[in-house]
């Protein structure tokens, strides 16, 4: 099988159902950003030891993102024809891991922090920002063609999970996070 089809040489690409759209169509923008996010998760996995406990979680997220991209590539009018079904627990999966990691950390999050730290933590922050951009693109698409609410919730939770994963990595390594400013709303409530 050839990797090149020449089908996109004139600025369009195929989507589920056989139609073609412009390569800068919001559906393609959203999917391209999700693909970038998935690749970023692959970088994080490559930085971890194969036996690291996070490998399974990140692999599940990558496989789930492939299904999400398939669903996003499908216009809502024919989405039921797509054989790639979303796992129903995507947002809950993220929440469970966020809660577990938060419970294991020594220091609560009371400051805005500067992204960085260890290579794994820094890459988690990069992936978090890509997830936020994907979320923005999905909401733009949602204005013209409904995106399944589970996908919107999942990408939102995934960015929270990646932030927590970055912090958990620093905590696990015994590294100090570089603080910027205290959360003002948390100061007012104390």
pLDDT for 129: 98
Query: Which token pair is 180?
Result: 């910027």
Check: CB of residue 178 under 8 Å from CB of residue 113.
Answer: yes
CATH code of domain 12-188: 1.20.1200.10
41 Cβ contact partners less than 8 Å away, ≥ 6 residues apart: 58, 61, 62, 65, 127
What is the pLDDT, as a whole number, of residue 81?
94
What is the reported pLDDT for 173? 78
What pTM was computed for the model?
Answer: 0.87
Backbone angles phi, psi at 58, to 5 degrees: -65, -35
User: Domain residue spans in the chain?
Assistant: 12-188
For residue 119 the two structure tokens come to: 């290579």
Q: In whole angstroms, give the CA distance from residue 73 to residue 13.
A: 11
Query: What is the pLDDT, as a whole number, of residue 87?
Result: 93
| pLDDT 10s digits, 12-62 | 777 777 788 768 889 999 999 999 999 999 999 999 999 999 999 999 999
b (16+ CB within 10 A) / e for 86-119:
beeebbebbeebbeebeeeeeeeeeeebebebee
Q: Is the pLDDT confidence value at 137 over 70?
A: yes
pLDDT, one tens digit per residue, over 172-184 is 877 777 665 565 5
The end-to-end CA distance of the chain, in Å, is: 63
133 Cβ neighbours under 8 A, 6+ residues apart = 33
User: Which has more confidence, 77 or 1?
Assistant: 77
Kindly provide the residue ranges of all beta strands, DSSP E only, lying in the chain, ordered along the sequence. 12-14, 20-22, 111-113, 179-182
pLDDT of residue 114: 66
Task: Give the model confidence (pLDDT) of 139-173 as tens digits.
Answer: 999 999 999 999 999 999 999 999 999 999 988 87
Helix, strand or coil for residue 189?
coil
Res 12: pLDDT:
75
């Amino acid at each position: 099988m050839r990797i090149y089809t020449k089908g996109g040489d004139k600025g369009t690409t195929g989507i589920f159902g056989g139609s073609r759209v412009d390569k800068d169509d919001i559906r393609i923008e959203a999917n391209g950003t999700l693909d970038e996010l998935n690749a970023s998760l692959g970088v994080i996995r490559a930085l971890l030891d194969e036996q690291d406990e996070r490998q399974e979680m990140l692999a599940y997220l990558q496989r789930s993102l492939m299904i999400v991209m398939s669903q996003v590539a499908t216009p809502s009018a024919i989405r039921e024809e797509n054989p790639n079904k979303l796992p129903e627990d995507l947002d809950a999966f993220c929440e469970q891991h966020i809660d577990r990691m938060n419970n294991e950390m020594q220091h609560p999050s009371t400051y805005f922090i500067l992204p960085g730290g260890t290579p794994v933590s820094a890459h988690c922050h990069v992936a978090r920002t890509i997830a936020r951009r994907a979320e923005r693109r999905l909401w733009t698409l949602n204005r013209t063609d409904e995106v399944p609410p589970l996908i919107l919730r999942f990408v939102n939770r995934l960015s929270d999970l990646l932030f927590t994963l970055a912090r958990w990595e620093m905590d696990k390594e015994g590294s100090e996070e570089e603080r910027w400013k205290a959360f003002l709303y948390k100061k007012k409530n104390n």
